[in-house]
Amino acid sequence: MSWEAVIGIEIHVQLRTATKMFCPCAIPAEGDAPNTRTCPTCLGLPGALPVPNRAAIEKVLAVGAAIGAKSPATTRWDRKNYFYPDLPKGYQISQLDLPLAEHGSIPVTTSAGAGSVRIRRAHLEEDTARLRHEKGADGTRASLIDYNRSGVALLEIVTEPDIRDGETARRYAEELRLLLRTIGAADAEMENGQMRVEANISLRPSSDAPFGLRVEVKNMNSFRSVERAIAYEMARQAEVLDAGGTITQETRGWDEGSETTYTMRAKEDSHDYRYFPEPDLPPLDIDPAWLAAIVAGLPELPGTRRARYVSELGLTEYDASVLVAEPRAAALFEAARAAQQGLDAKLLANWVSGEYLRVAKEGAADPDSVQFAALVAAVASKEISGTTAKALFAEMITTPLNIREVIASRGLGQISDTGALESIIADVIAANPQAIADWKAGKQQAVSFLVGQAMKASKGRGDAALLGELIRAALDR
Ligand SMILES: [Zn+2]
């Protein structure tokens, strides 16, 4: 029979702060020696007291405002109690019933169209230590604890069970990451564990039936894994239910290699954590003026920006989403538009999402936005050819260039003069009898070859479209 999936997503994200959540320790960096970023507070030593990180709280309030959530007048910290070696205090400071933000939503566009996912809550908590299981010096198995990550500020953001398939879950996680990066709340690099996605999945026979028993899936280390793990888990549960079996409430891990989920442990219910208000921290009043200043400081959000690019600049939905998906690309696009008034937005968008994003993904530095705008403007006015412009772009990302000066001093102006191009074409045709024979035999690609040769002869300065036209005319004569 057919089943409807009910999916809710919980995401933990490391906030972009200089220090940990409740102590002045620096955020550990890749390559730090174990247990070097610690102090009595994040080691959970008796008598050490927590001091909340203002920047972390501001970032969560900014996230709340960006997703249209409400923040309470007073928020509170709670202890989530459990015993495990990664938690030296025996509890984690978190937030239970007064989270920093509640009832928001995030726009999500999938292959089925535009929609949104409701956010139930967003709150702050502290990260735990890391366990490493390895062989000790004498060859026996040992479990080592690195407290560097203990106490790092985490945002936990939980959706309503609105999601029905893996694609929507993936798009939601991608959009949340983009939002967090745009407002500077987090870097959210999934591959570095800065963003951890967990999905709660259950099936029911119809949309008015009560929720089925849910399974939590963890260890999805990429957006692609999120989509595939959910699809796998939906199929697995359907198979169990179709065979007359029952679903066990449990936590399962996603195995990237075999592309399957496996049982990790029986699921704890929240009452097992025996939450109670944190006695070492007073409740936190959120001053409306403080919140208003945070809201006023928000940049343009991805959804707003995409809509503006389509309605004001005439870009396609696709072009707008490619630009907005990479904050660096959107920043270059905006800066170039500011530097060169009236620049063709569509052409600029093509240059940013084509040439720029290609080199940016290879790790290149950003070009100077004023010179980049001048380059695209020279292409728009047909002053230089596309070939010349690409060569200049490749040069300007490693060497500072003044585009106007370089075009003048190197004589790079595009040759659009028919007479000059005709003489180049005559030479090219004389030098390539095989291509002429091919063309006469009906091989259309001979024209592209001849255009290429003519471009080469013009040192990349020929107007490619005009060359094509003139070569076809010459061949027809
Ligand atoms: Zn510390």
Q: Which of 136-140, 252-256, 330-334 has the lowest mean pLDDT?
A: 136-140
Same domain, 194 and 340: no
* pLDDT tens by residue, 391-411: 999 999 888 888 888 888 777
* Cα 37 to middle of ligand 1, angstroms: 7
Same domain, 396 and 458: no
* Cα 19 to middle of ligand 1, angstroms: 8
Alpha carbons 34 and 464: distance in angstroms, whole number:
59
* Cα 28 to middle of ligand 1, angstroms: 11
Same domain, 83 and 187: yes
* Cα 192 to middle of ligand 1, angstroms: 21
* Cα 463 to middle of ligand 1, angstroms: 63
With contact defined as beta carbons under 8 Å apart, do 14 and 157 qualify?
Answer: no
Q: Residue 89: what residue type?
A: K
Structure confidence at residue 415 as a pLDDT band (50, 70, 90): confident
* Cα 476 to middle of ligand 1, angstroms: 79
Residue 30 lies in a domain: yes
Q: Is the pLDDT of residue 41 over 90?
A: yes
Q: What is the pLDDT of residue 268?
A: 57
Q: What is the pLDDT of residue 271?
A: 60
Q: What is the pLDDT of residue 265?
A: 81
Read off the pLDDT of each residue in 309-313 and give the average, rounded to a whole number: 95
| Lookup result for tokens 């936590």 | 251
Q: What is the pLDDT of residue 5?
A: 96
Same domain, 282 and 305: no
Residue 284 lies in a domain: yes
CB within 8 A of 155, min separation 6: which ones? 12, 13, 15, 59, 60, 63, 122, 123, 124, 180, 185, 186
Q: What is the pLDDT of residue 471?
A: 87
Same domain, 226 and 121: yes
* Cα 25 to middle of ligand 1, angstroms: 4
Q: Is the pLDDT of residue 416 over 80?
A: no
* Cα 339 to middle of ligand 1, angstroms: 45
Alpha carbons 20 and 154: distance in angstroms, whole number:
9
Same domain, 229 and 156: yes
* Cα 93 to middle of ligand 1, angstroms: 14
Same domain, 342 and 393: yes
Q: How many domains does the chain divide into? A: 3
* pLDDT tens by residue, 159-211: 999 999 999 999 999 999 999 999 999 999 998 889 999 999 999 998 888 88
Mark the residues whose beta carbon lies below 5 A from ion ligand 1: 23, 25, 39, 41-42
CB within 8 A of 290, min separation 6: which ones? 61
Same domain, 90 and 126: yes
Q: What is the pLDDT of residue 376?
A: 95
Q: Residue 375: what residue type?
A: L
* pLDDT tens by residue, 333-388: 999 999 988 899 999 999 999 999 999 988 888 899 999 999 999 999 888 888 88
Same domain, 75 and 208: yes
SS3 130: strand
Q: Is the pLDDT of residue 136 over 80?
A: no
Last residue of a domain, one of 409, 440, 464: 409
Q: What is the pLDDT of residue 294?
A: 96
Q: Name the percent of the chain lying above pLDDT 70.
A: 99
In the sheet with 78-81, reading across from the earlier edge strand, the strands are 91-94, 78-81, 276-277
Last residue of a domain, one of 378, 409, 440: 409
Write the CATH number for 433: 1.10.10.410
Residue 77 lies in a domain: yes
Residue 295 lies in a domain: no
* Cα 77 to middle of ligand 1, angstroms: 18
Same domain, 161 and 199: yes
* Cα 47 to middle of ligand 1, angstroms: 13
Torsion angle of alpha carbons 61, 295, 324, 152, nearest 10°? -20
Structure confidence at residue 138 as a pLDDT band (50, 70, 90): confident
SS3 250: strand
Q: Is the pLDDT of residue 270 over 60?
A: no
Q: What is the domain extent for residue 49?
A: 4-289
Same domain, 285 and 305: no
